[in-house]
């Protein structure tokens, strides 16, 4: 049930991002990171795969690039989080390498990069928004995460 809710949230974040802020923060990536912080590896990997597939559907010639990148981000983030203290800075610290990984895989797979100025602004806005997203999802899922 929790997985279905998280899928819905990822999909909602994608719809908001794609329809309202195509040139804006990477909300989907932030959601995947926050879930990876709290959930198990399989959960985070599957969620990342789903999120990446959503991105790939907008450019199917590079189908798989974002799916691989996001699934890897989910897997790695969920794998390393037991070694860190669960604080808000954790999401902030992970956002930058996650963005780099996502765009690097996309570039290697031929999905391309947005123009550099936009990329930098997107990165900064995404990092700035990460505590907000973490806090918001933390409130929504607080009871479930406390009981799990």
Partner 1 sequence: MAARPRPTWHDRTCWLLLSLAFGLLLLPRPLRVRLSLPLQTGLLAPLRATAWFRHNLADLTAENRRLTRLASELAVENARLIARGGRSRAQVPPTNLLLVYCPIIGRDMSTLERFLVVSRGTRHGVVAGTCAITAEGVVGRVIAAGPDQALVQTLLDPDSRIAVTNLRSRALAVARPEGRGLTLDYVPDAAGAAPGDTLVTSGLGLVFPKGLRVGTITAVSAPQSGIFRRIEITPFVQVMRIEGVFALVRPGPASEANDWLENLAPAQVEMPLPPVP
Binding site for partner 1 (CB under 8 A): 11, 15, 17-20, 22-23, 40-42, 45-46, 49, 52-68, 71-72, 75, 103, 106, 109-115, 118
Closest CB to partner 1 among residues 119, 140: 119
If the CB atoms of residues 18 and 131 are measured against partner 1, the closer one turns out to be 18
Find the shortest distance in angstroms from Cβ 75 to partner 1: 6
In eight-state DSSP terms, residue 127 is H
Closest distance to partner 1 from the beta carbon of 87 (Å):
25
Distance CA 32, CA 121 (A): 20
How far apart are the C-alpha atoms of 129 and 123, rounded to whole Å?
A: 10
97 or 112: CB nearest partner 1: 112
* Alpha-carbon dihedral angle through residues 15, 142, 4, 53, given to the nearest 10 degrees: 40
CB 62 within 8 A of CB 111: yes
């Amino acid at each position: 049930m929790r997985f279905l809710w998280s899928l819905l949230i990822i999909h909602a974040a994608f719809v908001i991002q794609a329809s309202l802020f195509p040139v804006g923060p990477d909300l989907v990536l932030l959601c995947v990171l926050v879930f990876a912080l709290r959930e198990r590896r399989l959960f985070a990997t599957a969620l990342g795969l789903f999120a990446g597939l959503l991105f790939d559907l907008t450019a199917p010639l590079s189908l798989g690039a974002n799916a691989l990148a996001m699934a890897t981000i989910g897997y790695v983030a969920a794998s390393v989080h037991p070694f860190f203290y669960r604080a808000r800075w954790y999401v902030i610290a992970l956002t930058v390498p996650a963005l780099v990984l996502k765009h690097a895989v996309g570039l290697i797979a031929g999905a391309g990069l947005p123009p550099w100025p936009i990329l930098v602004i997107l990165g900064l806005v995404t990092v700035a928004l990460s505590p907000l997203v973490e806090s918001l999802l933390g409130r929504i899922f607080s009871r479930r995460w406390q009981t799990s």
